Structures are given as structure tokens and as C-alpha cells.
Amino acid sequence: MNYTPEMLASMKKVEAAREKNIALEPRRLTAEEKEALLKEYHPDYKDAGFTTIRVGGNKGQKAPVELNAMLDAHSRLRDVEVDLSNIAYDVDVLVIGGGGAGSSAAIEAHEAGANVMIVTKLRIGDANTMMAEGGIQAADKPGDSPALHYLDVMGGGHYANRPELVKKLVMEGPSAIKWLNELGVEFDKAPDGTMITTHGGGTSRKRMHAAADYSGAEIMRTLRDEVLNRQIPVVDFTAAIELILDTDGKAAGAVLMNMETGELMVARAKTVIIATGGAGRMHYQGFPTSNHYGATADGLILGYRAGAKLLYQDTLQYHPTGVAFPQQIFGALVTEKVRSMGAKLINSEGEAYIHPLETRDVNAAGVIRECTTHGKGVDTGMGKAVWLDTPMIDRIHGKGTLEKRLPAMLRMYLKYGIDMREVPILIYPTLHYQNGGLEIAEDGQTCVENLFVAGEAVGGIHGRNRLMGNSLLDIIVFGRSAGQRAAQKAGTTQLKELTLRHVDKYEAELANAGIDSDAVSPKLLPTYARGAKAF
Amino acid sequence: MVNVYLMGKKYEVPEGLTIMGAMEYAGYQLVRGCGCRNGFCGACATVYRIKGERELHAALACQTTVEENMYVATLPFFPLEKQVYDINKIKPDAQVMMQLYPEIYSCIGCNACTKSCTQGLNVMQYIAAAQRGDFAACAQMSFDCVMCGVCSSRCPAGISHPQVAELSRRINGKYLMPEAKHLTERVKEIEDGLCQAEMEAIMAKPLEELKELYNHRDIEK
């Protein structure tokens, strides 16, 4: 173990206070206290992190600086002639993105009899879904109900959520779990078949279903296997770089780019589903991220240029417990399930300063407060951090529990000589989730006809803060639904001539606004190579 | 600084970097061989050998710290053999393995798969369980598999271990683990419209009332 003497000195205080802290049930904050904490410390409230959108349907609204730079950037097709009559792929439904939402959509579109294809810039399964650890919510137990789930989602999202989307999320939650279970997902169950469920931050009932702490991986690999069993074409290492519309303004396909050779291809489709995921690799406000390598908000750019609207693009989720030490895994996720299982957040003085299961935005703000104005952070060499007292878990539930229920976490830390069963770990907020995204109606369609969105690229389901376990749920509920609706809609769609005029129009708007960026978008991949130009 | 050899070429990189970090420090802009960067997706399977040592190691590039004189070769793609089946039609007995993955019965017990597992799993043992038709054991032992494919690259019998394990897990999850009755019942209740009235009532509440409800809701212990 490589903890510094300063860390070890603070750790002694954590150990000395452990029994007392286990017994303590920290008071839940009042609504007013939460609001004050967020305003003071949450990154969403930092004006310097945002600028005003200057073109397009959300002109005048706030967006993160880094996202706005992508909205201001040129199309990758500027000054490039694309022959739209040279069609490489011709399908009913084009799914852009190979994560949980895209795969669910493709399976359901296929089930509905559509000719469907997935295009993904990396591999199928290279997605935030794969990395979701803690679990998936659904109100399927006695004493719980979709209405209680609804209340938790609305309160957690600060009542900014679109009610009809939340209703769909919670009402179709149990059937989503059943669908996954029948595909073969191995949920944690008691010997009699009862789902083993826990709390997440901000839940009023224990409705977090899990598959150890590989919940997302188990779901993703099952969906991937099903996509492959159905022999749905998956074109990998190929990015969508612009949407194609038809002369009626309906979505009609995408221009694709081979990520390795740069070759451009045209995919024509009667309906298009954007399932491109999140934006952690944009590193908003300089935060590290728990996200997948490809999480660069591509779908938001594609959709926006084609005329779809953004919603809550100015709200991001910073997961309170990102790895703060060791540096090799800086920013990686420590699942909320660690807190669900009883580990508490402890400052450098050994104080359990907050309830560990407040919502994520509140707990993230709390960590930042301890590390700044309260001066109760531990120095990691890369900044300050607080403790997550993981040895509490086996102390509460018995030896062996942590290993059984949190194998991925244990393995991740053991690789660096830290046995989290014996010693607490150091954490700090990490950029985790894009709360906002493209605006959709209840049927998953944007204001652009035949353009559907599912998964993290959607805005409005989670309001201004998402609860743990509702993202895995939304990718399944809205992914499936988008696939079904897109297949149905494809059946009645007559395509007109293909066009990229919207891209030219957007370029002209940029020029009129006096914007001439030297960047291109969508970003596709972050640039981490030392000395390299943007990808 | 430490000396590492990426695809045989020498680079000097700061101590403490992961193999992936070292590649990026050296100037590689990764497209393949990089996925979740957190040890879940299996995109960055890597083999390495320390100069002068005989043993060949396998690891995930995002989860492994560089060492002095490490010779690194990435394995950004490995052709696994996946058989196509209908999960709703297969029967959960040993027959299915014989039909889909008969090569598992050619295992010679060399244990190269286990030795090469980037997740430290007992791969040969889970294949043995699959041979016996013990899908629950195979599923349990293979659960942490990230399907990077290193095991298969080392197998003289041509087994695609991760695919065998995937099939076992799906059979286990669908057919062998007990049904969650409360789930079946709740889905039926929703289909029968029994949750509709409560949902409509809460959706009809004015914002202030909704906030009151939320702020004073009872939280299960």
C-alpha cells in the first residue's frame, strides 16, 4: 500500500472513529440545506464553466464551454463532396451507437421485423453501459410502487424532469427487468428467487437490482450476445459524422466515417436512432471522468445540426465517489453500491459529515465543501480527497461480503496494493453523466421527424440530477421503445431525395454569427496522445 | 523514468503510468485497443514479457502499471468463434455445449488459459464445468470475465472460452436461477392497469404538494 504518511495519519482517525461512525445515522439534510450546498459548491453553478449558445435552436441558452466549442465547430464535411447517391448501406432502421440503448433498440426493431443495422465508432459494447456497476432500479417489490419510484425520480431531478418520460421510465421498469432476466441476465437473487435489492442515493425503497458490481457489464454482454445471435449487422470502428435528411426534412440516414481509414460512406435509412451516449470525455471544467473512451457528446452535435433541440445541456452529474488515489485509476468510478452497503463518507478528521445516501449532486457538493472551505480534505498529490470507509461493509454484514458483492472494486484496488476490506479509500467527484441531451417526445422522437433518441443522449428523463440505477433502466426502457417505434415508423415512411443542406445551413449560420472555429465536430475521441493534434 | 518497449520500440516514460498511459505518453493516439479505460470492457488486452524473463504475462493495458524493461504487444482484436443460437429454443442440458462448442471436449488440460487470464479467473475449471453441463458453476466461475480473448489466443485446442462462458451465464440466468415471483406479479399488475390510478394521482399533484410529499416521504430502513 502506497498511502503517504499524511494519509496514514488521517486514516488512524478514521479507524479510531469507525465503531462510532457505523452506529451513527447522519441526519438527512433539509430541502433548504441541500439547495444552499448545491449553489455554493456544485460545478453546475459555476458560471465560468458555461458560455451562451450562439446558433441553432437553443440559441441564448447556457452550455458547458467545451460542448459549446463543439457546437461552434465546423462540420467534418465542410469542403468535402459526398455522393449521396452512392449508398453503401440501405436499411429500415439505422442505430447509431452500440451501447445498451442502441443494442436494445436494435433487438426490438429486429423483433418487429425491420431491417436494422448498428453503426458504432468503436466496438459493440464499448459504452458507459459496460461500466455501470451498482445496479438498475425498478419498483417490483411489495411495499414499493411505480408511483413511489416516480416521486423519487422527480425529487432527485429537482422537479425539472419531463413527467411523461418519468412515467414511462417507472411504469415500464419492472417489464424491463423481466425482459433482461428472460434474455439470461443473472440478477442477484435469494435462493427463493427474490431479487436482492438495496438503496441508492435518494431512493425511498430498496429497489436497486444488481449483478454483483458488474451490473452494466452483465447486461451489456447479454444484449451484445443477443444482437449477434439475431445476426443484426454491426459496423464497428465507423462513426456517424453527419445525419442525412430527405427533402421533406425527415431523418434519412447518416454519413459514416471509417475510424481507421477515414473512408466516407453513406447509410440510407427510413428512421434513425441516436444512441451515442454521454460526454465524460469532454472533461467539463477540467474534471476527470468515469466514462468510456468514446463519450464525447457526438449525438448531440449530429442531432443539433439537423434541427433537433437540446434540453438541460447545462446540467452534468459529478459522481461523488471517483477514485482520487492512486493516480493510475484517477477519476475511475467507485460504485455508489459501496455506500448502499453501508460505507460512509468520512473527512480527514474522522467525521461522518453527511448522510452517505443523499442524492449524487448533494454528496458531490459535500465532498467539494470538505476539501475546500472546511479544510478537511486529505492531500493526494493531485488535489484533496475524503475517505470512503469501506472496511465498514464487512464489519456490518460479515466477513466476505465485500468480496462477494463488490468483486470489481476489490480487484481494481488490489492491483495497486490497496485492500479496501482492510483500509478506507480516497475519493473525489468525477464527471459521470450527462443529465441533459436531445429533447424527445414520449415516443422517443425529436422534433425532426423519424429521428429518435435513446439512452444517455436523451435529455429530460432525469431532470437536473439522475439517481443511481435509473440510467441502466432508461437505456432499456427507452432503447426498446425507440426500436419498436422506429421499426413501425419505417414501415410507413416514403423517403424523398437525400440531402445535406442542413449542414450547409448550419455552417452559414455560424458564418453569419461571425464564428470561425479551428475545431471540427463531432469530437469522436479525446486527444490524450502527448503532443498530438485533436483527433 | 522507466524504459518500456512498445511493439518492440524503446520509449522512456514516467514511472507509475499504466501501459495505456505509457502508450499515450509515447504519442500513440489510440483508436483500437482502448475502451472503457477502467477494466470492464476487455478492449485493451495486452501481452508482455520482462526482458530476460521467460514467462509471458497477459494484462489489461488500462489496469497495469509499466515496469522497467517491459516488452509490450497489444492484442486489440482476437477472432473468437461465437455460435449463433436462439436463447428461447435451447434446452439447458449438456447437449447444447456438444452441439455449439464441441471443441471444449478437446481441452488437453494445459491450463494456459487460466495462466493467461487478465482477470485472474480459473478458466480451465470453468471450461471443465461447461463440459459436465454444470452451467451454474461455469457461470459463477466466469462471472468476472471481460471477454478480452487472451485465453483463447493461448489455447492449443482452439476453444473460445469467453463465448462458452457467455452461453453458460445466459442459460443460468434464464433457466436455472429461480424465478422472481414478485417481479412476475408486479409486471402483471401494471399490465392489468392496477398501478394506473396511483400514478395518475401523483402526476396530477401541483408542484408544491409534490415537494411536500417528497420532503416527508418515508424512507425504508
| Among A123, A293, A408, beta carbon nearest to B37 | A293
A123 touches chain B (CB under 8 A): yes
Distance CA A439, CA A444 (A): 9
B47 lies in a domain?
yes
pLDDT bucket at A196, cuts 50 / 70 / 90: very high
* Same structural domain, B65 and B8: yes
- Structural domain span for residue B116: 95-176
* Same structural domain, B7 and B68: yes
Question: For the sheet containing A197-198, what is the strand order?
Answer: A136-137, A208-209, A197-198
* Same structural domain, B11 and B64: yes
| A interface test, pick of B91, B186, B191, B194 with most A CB neighbours within 10 Å | B186
**Residue B33 maps to which CATH number?**
3.10.20.30
B34 lies in a domain?
yes
* Same structural domain, B137 and B166: yes
Report CB contact under 8 Å: B35, A130: yes
Predicted local confidence at residue A150, as pLDDT: 98
Predicted local confidence at residue B153, as pLDDT: 95
Phi, then psi, of B44 in degrees rounded to 5:
-110, 40
| B interface test, pick of A229, A293, A465 with most B CB neighbours within 10 Å | A293
DSSP classification of residue B175: I
- In percent, the amount of chain A with pLDDT more than 70 equals 99
Closest Cα in chain B to A142: B182
Helix, strand, or coil (residue B157): coil
* Same structural domain, B200 and B133: no
- Selecting among A42, A76, A110, A339, the annotated active-site residue is A339
Evaluate whether B151 touches B117 at the Cβ level (below 8 Å).
yes
Predicted local confidence at residue A190, as pLDDT: 97
DSSP β-ladder status, A208-209 and A264-274: unpaired
A380 pLDDT exceeds 60? yes
- In percent, the amount of chain A with pLDDT more than 90 equals 97
pLDDT bucket at A531, cuts 50 / 70 / 90: confident
Predicted local confidence at residue B76, as pLDDT: 87
Q: Measured between beta carbons, which residues in chain A are less than 8 angstroms from residue B169?
A: 184, 186, 218, 221-222
Distances (CA, A) of A444 to A36, A269, A451, A458, A531: 35, 17, 8, 9, 41
B82 lies in a domain?
no
Instruction: Tell me the nearest-neighbour CA distance from A501 into chain B, angstroms.
Output: 30
**Half-sphere exposure for A466 (CA within 13 Å, toward CB):** 31
| Among B24, B87, B213, beta carbon nearest to A183 | B87
Predicted local confidence at residue A2, as pLDDT: 86
What would the pLDDT profile of A89-144 be if each residue is shown by its tens digit?
Answer: 999 999 999 999 999 999 999 999 999 999 999 999 999 999 998 899 999 999 99
Report CB contact under 8 Å: A221, B166: yes
Interface of A with B in 429-458 (CB under 8 A): none
B209 lies in a domain?
yes
Distance CA A319, CA A333 (A): 8
Instruction: Tell me the nearest-neighbour CA distance from A320 into chain B, angstroms.
Output: 17
Instruction: Tell me the nearest-neighbour CA distance from A229 into chain B, angstroms.
Output: 5
A501 CB burial (10 A radius; 0-12, 13-18, 19+): exposed
Q: Measured between beta carbons, which residues in chain B are less than 8 angstroms from residue A212?
A: 143
What would the pLDDT profile of B55-92 be if each residue is shown by its tens digit?
Answer: 999 999 999 999 999 999 999 889 999 999 999 999 99
The yes-or-no answer on residue A319 being catalytic is yes
Mean of all residue pLDDT scores within chain A:
96
| Among B172, B201, B203, beta carbon nearest to A167 | B203
Name the pTM for this structure: 0.96
Query: Average pLDDT for residues A346-365, to the nearest whole number?
Result: 96
* Same structural domain, B60 and B110: no
* Same structural domain, B144 and B172: yes
pLDDT bucket at A405, cuts 50 / 70 / 90: very high
* Same structural domain, B110 and B172: yes
Predicted local confidence at residue A534, as pLDDT: 55
Evaluate whether A174 touches B187 at the Cβ level (below 8 Å).
yes
What would the pLDDT profile of A227-263 be if each residue is shown by its tens digit?
Answer: 999 999 999 999 999 999 999 999 999 999 999 999 9
A163 touches chain B (CB under 8 A): yes
Predicted local confidence at residue A535, as pLDDT: 54
Report CB contact under 8 Å: B182, A142: yes
In terms of DSSP H, where are the helices of A42-117?
A: 65-72, 100-111
B90 lies in a domain?
no
Distance CA A49, CA A42 (A): 11
- All three cell numbers of B199: 400514478
ipTM: 0.97
- Selecting among A268, A319, A355, A405, the annotated active-site residue is A319
What would the pLDDT profile of A32-90 be if each residue is shown by its tens digit?
Answer: 999 999 999 999 999 999 999 999 999 999 999 999 999 999 999 998 999 999 999 99
What would the pLDDT profile of A99-111 be if each residue is shown by its tens digit?
Answer: 999 999 999 999 9
Q: How many domains does chain B have?
A: 3
Domain architecture of chain A: domains with CATH: 5-41+318-431 (3.90.700.10), 87-315+435-499 (3.50.50.60)
Per the model's pLDDT, the better-predicted residue between A497 and B94 turns out to be A497
B149 lies in a domain?
yes
What would the pLDDT profile of B160-170 be if each residue is shown by its tens digit?
Answer: 999 999 999 99
What would the pLDDT profile of A273-305 be if each residue is shown by its tens digit?
Answer: 999 999 999 999 999 999 999 999 999 999 999
Instruction: Tell me the nearest-neighbour CA distance from B52 into chain A, angstroms.
Output: 24
A261 touches chain B (CB under 8 A): no
DSSP classification of residue B32: S
DSSP β-ladder status, B9-13 and B2-6: antiparallel
What would the pLDDT profile of B124-177 be if each residue is shown by its tens digit?
Answer: 999 999 999 999 999 999 999 999 999 999 999 999 999 999 999 999 999 999
* Same structural domain, B172 and B100: yes
* Same structural domain, B145 and B193: no
A530 pLDDT exceeds 90? no
B88-95 contact pairs (CB < 8 A, 24+) = B90/B171, B92/B135, B92/B171, B92/B175, B92/B176, B93/B133, B94/B131, B94/B132, B94/B133, B95/B133
